[in-house]
Amino acid sequence: MSNKTILAVAVLMFALVLPASAVEIRGTVVSDDGAFTWNATNFAAFYYDIDKNIQSETLNITVSGRTIAADGGLQYTAIGVLADFSSYKALGKDGLVDGKGNYSVVGFMGDKYVAVNSKANKLAKLVYEMDETDKVTLVSGEVLKLGAGYELKINAVDAKASPRQAWLSLSKDGKTVDEAVIGQKEVYVYTETVLGEEDSLIFTVYVDSIFSGTNDMIQMKHAWLIDNTNAKEIKTADTYGLLKVVNAEAGKIVLENDNTITLSQDTVVTVMDNLKLKVADASVLRFYPKIDVVTETVVETPKVVVTTQPQATVSATSTAVQPAATQAPSPVVTQAPVDAKPVETQAASQAVPVTTNKAPGFESLYAIAGLVAVAFLVLRQRK
């Protein structure tokens, strides 16, 4: 193997870990001026729940020539829509908390949020939610990792009581925030004041079964958790890119442009955050809205084998990029599998994913350089 061959192999290995181009999620193309509206049916980046058939976001635009007029020519609206708690439907309860069997969902910039106490301008991320058929089984003393720093611990189980009971404690970042003794077939609820909203639901879980045996166990369903510490309030007059909040009522958020926006040929106009308008490189106006979604993928370099006389082999395999961590860690499981799925970001789960391989860290580069050096030394020894 010549030095040129070694160099070619090195270049190939570096190419395998270089970042790839991002792919956009786009809405329907507009090829004329006038008024147009995008929602989840013609812009896949916007929030949509196909099971519940609910959507939340709308983008309205009015164009004259290549100009979007000031004071509302471009308007983005997000409204709160109701979604049922899985425990409410499954158990036939009159209400999970204070007679409410549902919660308000808001899609904002394509991501799914919970409207705190149904206030659409007060948003918290939903980080853990079980479907109606999901369940998790833990033994006494075990911990269920929920995400956002929250953990649920089974302190003790009393299978001789009637009804059977379990002593639960909920912690945040290692500190206990609540404890309760919950009976079998009961719902555990934890609330706090969030963004000034008293008794806002933070966490709930249904204790389905308590078992006694070699290990005392508890089976739970319908767990639901929001990240209250990172909740945000959208206020009137707040600005997001080219848009300003003109309405921040309990039921909806409305943002509009203050100034004129020009859709120049062959440009990308950033409206707010990652929402953009891409304009064609053409004399006739043609454009569409887009949101770029970035996910990480595992990129593994191939094995490189250098052979000498008699047969001596040097090989190496390295992983350049690790996959991104899910928003909520997988629960600890004993005896039974966990069916619950952490909440995914809406854009990534709803449309064709956008793959961007991130550049490797210095550790990966050192590993590749070391591999090339070893190959070079082997060849020199051969000579």
pLDDT at residue 152 greater than cutoff 70: yes
Check: CATH 2.170.190.11 for 24-79+235-292?
A: no
Residue whose tokens read 């926006």: 261
**Sequence-distant (≥ 6) Cβ neighbours of residue 148 within 8 angstroms:** 125, 127, 225, 226, 227, 229, 230, 328
CA distance 294 to 19: 11
Closest CA to 286 of 22, 28, 42: 28
User: Which amino acid is located at 270 in the chain?
Assistant: T
Average pLDDT over every residue of 313-342: 38
Spell out the alpha helix ranges (H) of the chain.
3-16, 86-91, 346-350, 362-382
- Where along the chain do its domains lie? 3-18+295-325+345-382, 24-79+235-292, 122-227
Residues in the chain: 383
CA distance 69 to 275: 18
Instruction: Choose the most confident range, by mean pLDDT, from 12-16, 49-53, 250-254.
Output: 250-254
Average pLDDT over every residue of 373-382: 52
Averaged confidence pLDDT in the chain: 79
CATH class of 122-227: mainly beta
CA distance 12 to 80: 50
Query: With contact defined as beta carbons under 8 Å apart, do 102 and 83 qualify?
Result: yes
What is the tally of helices (H) and strands (E) in the chain? 4, 30
Residue 132: pLDDT band with limits 50, 70, 90: confident
**pLDDT tens-digit series, residues 184-218:** 999 899 999 999 999 999 999 999 999 887 888 99
Q: Report CA-CA distances (Å) from 21 to 103, 247, 272, 307.
A: 38, 37, 21, 36
pLDDT at 24: 83
Residue 352: pLDDT band with limits 50, 70, 90: very low
Query: With contact defined as beta carbons under 8 Å apart, do 248 and 141 qualify?
Result: no
Query: With contact defined as beta carbons under 8 Å apart, do 167 and 181 qualify?
Result: yes
With residue 191 as reference, give the H or E element that holds it: strand 186-194
User: Which amino acid is located at 225 in the chain?
Assistant: L
First-to-last alpha carbon distance for the chain, in angstroms, is 11
pLDDT at residue 302 greater than cutoff 70: no
